[in-house]
A and B are shown apart, each in its own frame.
Chain A
Amino acid sequence: MNLRDVIIEPHISEKTMMDMEENNWYTFKVALNSNKSQIKDAVEDIFDVTVKKVTTCRMPGKKRRLRYNEGTTAEWKKARVKLSEDDNIEIFEGV
């Protein structure tokens, strides 16, 4: 799998911003079929940082309904990445 296809976008919310500032955990939306080692490689390669730990989870799609047609939004994968203390990712603070 191409490293550039692993990370889709940073996941930014109140919760992740706090996590980032306090514990140096960065959160990404990643490809569903990627695994932790691929995520680690991708983050280290793209942002030039050292990754200490990766945790992932699958976020199930939410039920949505349009008139009588039921459906779901897409399932996706969330990855939290712990960086070593002196590293940070600038792009987060800008997007």
Chain B
Amino acid sequence: MKVNKEEIGENKVKLEVEIEEERVEDALDEAYKKVVKKVDIDGFRKGKVPRTLLEKRYGEEVLHKDALDILIQQGYYEAVQEADIEPIDQPEITDAHIQGGEPATFTAEVEVKPDVELGNYTELEVEPEEVTVEAEDIEQELEAKRQEHAQLVGVDREVVEEGDFVTIDYEGYVDGETFEGGSAEDYNLEIGSESFVPGFEEQLTGVEVGAETTVEITFPENYQSDDLAGEDAEFEVKVKDIKRKEVPELDDEFAKDLGFETLDELKSDIEEDLAAEAEEKADRAYENQLVEAAVENAEVDVPEVMVEEEIDNMLEGQKMQMQQQGFDFDEYLEMTGMDEEALRDNFRGQAAERTKSNLVLEAIAEEEGIEVTEEEIDEKVEEIAKNQGQDQDPEQIKAFLQMQGQLDQLKDGLQMEKTMEFLKDNN
């Protein structure tokens, strides 16, 4: 096989491929075997028509198309290997020529991965952020924990005040008629939580327990139900009970409830949690800054095809995520009033960024000879197996991944991680 490689334009390569006669003959034979099954000629059973007769009757061209398909598929793949290029798109095949007894030729034009001109990436002026946990944050966390464990306690007070939890029955009327969702019994409402229509809760303050009162409100213009938006409504409300939220005292008792010995222990646990969280956040920010800086110093032309592919990936991810949350993708589109095209446009900028940094990271990995070993892959697979459950056999998972073609992705991901480590170590 002869391959003539020629670079045309940016990131585009033209391959002129010539395939020997013997292989052409093989391909023709294979094509005949495929075609003959469908040919029906008097005097012959299906699939039994001799090749000579077939070619004489329908012309030699009958086999050419199928043979070319076979040849191009094999030939292109081999040509790519031989020319040592990394295509990122489907090739455009032109000038395909085939004739029995002659070498077959075709030309393939394909976009390849762009060359990355790496700039400086080891002495970037990026420093990891110092992580400190403020006492204030701990207080806040403690307070949140207290609120979580608050209990509703009855109060002996006759009048509703702001911040109370009241149990009410209510029935609403618009123009003297009840409407859907306008009534309830034994409803627990926090006064001041603003979970009801504005004005409702305020008008309940000062009402006595056991008393009935009428609340007059106007639904806001942007109310979720179109029928009610902007309408005046009257509610007959009966207050049945008043309760107040009681937060537990901040003492060792409270700590014990949460499974700690003392309050100090609880505090130090919270501090640890916060520190770990902050550290992870800082670490990620540091990584991002490193990549950003490295990308800035490098020079890449990001091909459109790769961006589109990345957008596809992102869209796919979004769909998957939505499915897991029980949303329908089409419904989501309808809700946000976007079509798929608009969504793609939304993703475009981000996708371009990602593609670019991926390219740069890849180039760095190549430059530094960072490679992923078989053992590392096995390790990762084992980890996945562990996460999926106890009965999973790592070997099986590996085979499954390979079947789905995800093993390469896994490998790429690991390489990224290692490159990231390298960047961190060398800055």
**Is B38 positioned at the interface, with any CB of A under 8 Å from its CB?**
no
Are B43 and A12 touching (Cβ within 8 A)? yes
A34 to B56, CA, bound (A): 30
Query: Cβ of B45: which chain A residues have Cβ within 8 Å of it?
Result: 14
- Tell me the smallest distance from the CB of B36 to a CB of chain A, in Å: 13
- Tell me the smallest distance from the CB of B226 to a CB of chain A, in Å: 72
Are B56 and A17 touching (Cβ within 8 A)? no
Are B43 and A14 touching (Cβ within 8 A)? yes
Query: Cβ of B325: which chain A residues have Cβ within 8 Å of it?
Result: none
A14 to B48, CA, bound (A): 7
Tally of A interface residues using CB under 8 Å? 9
**Is B53 positioned at the interface, with any CB of A under 8 Å from its CB?**
yes
- Tell me the smallest distance from the CB of B58 to a CB of chain A, in Å: 11
A93 to B51, CA, bound (A): 10
Query: Cβ of A14: which chain B residues have Cβ within 8 Å of it?
Result: 43-45, 48
- Chain A binding site: helix, strand, loop or mixed by DSSP? loop
Query: Cβ of B43: which chain A residues have Cβ within 8 Å of it?
Result: 11-14, 16
A12 to B48, CA, bound (A): 13
Query: Cβ of A94: which chain B residues have Cβ within 8 Å of it?
Result: 56-57
What 0/1 readout, one digit per residue, does chain B (43-61) give for beta carbons within 8 Å of chain A? 1110010101100110000
A91 nearest CB neighbor, chain B only:
B56
A18 nearest CB neighbor, chain B only:
B50
Are B48 and A93 touching (Cβ within 8 A)? no
A93 to B48, CA, bound (A): 15
Are B56 and A13 touching (Cβ within 8 A)? no
A11 to B44, CA, bound (A): 12
Q: Considering the complex, which residues of chain A in the window 12-58 have a beta carbon less than 8 Å from any beta carbon of chain B? A: 12-14, 16-17
> Which of B42, B45, B50, B57 has the most C-beta atoms of chain A within 10 angstroms of its own C-beta?
B50
B45 nearest CB neighbor, chain A only:
A14
A94 to B57, CA, bound (A): 6
Are A93 and B52 touching (Cβ within 8 A)? yes
B41 nearest CB neighbor, chain A only:
A12
- Tell me the smallest distance from the CB of B53 to a CB of chain A, in Å: 7
In the A-B complex, list the 9 residue pairs whose CB atoms are closest, starting with the nearest: A13-B43, A94-B56, A14-B44, A12-B43, A93-B52, A14-B48, A93-B56, A17-B50, A14-B43
**Chain A interface residues toward B at CB < 8 A:** 11-14, 16-17, 93-95
Instruction: Other than A11-B43, A93-B53, give 16 A-B pairs with Cβ distance below 8 A.
Output: A12-B42, A12-B53, A13-B43, A13-B44, A14-B43, A14-B44, A14-B45, A14-B48, A16-B43, A17-B50, A17-B53, A93-B52, A93-B56, A94-B56, A94-B57, A95-B57
Q: Can you list 21 A-B contacts (CB < 8 A)? A: A11-B43, A12-B42, A12-B43, A12-B53, A13-B42, A13-B43, A13-B44, A14-B43, A14-B44, A14-B45, A14-B48, A16-B43, A17-B50, A17-B53, A93-B52, A93-B53, A93-B56, A94-B56, A94-B57, A95-B56, A95-B57
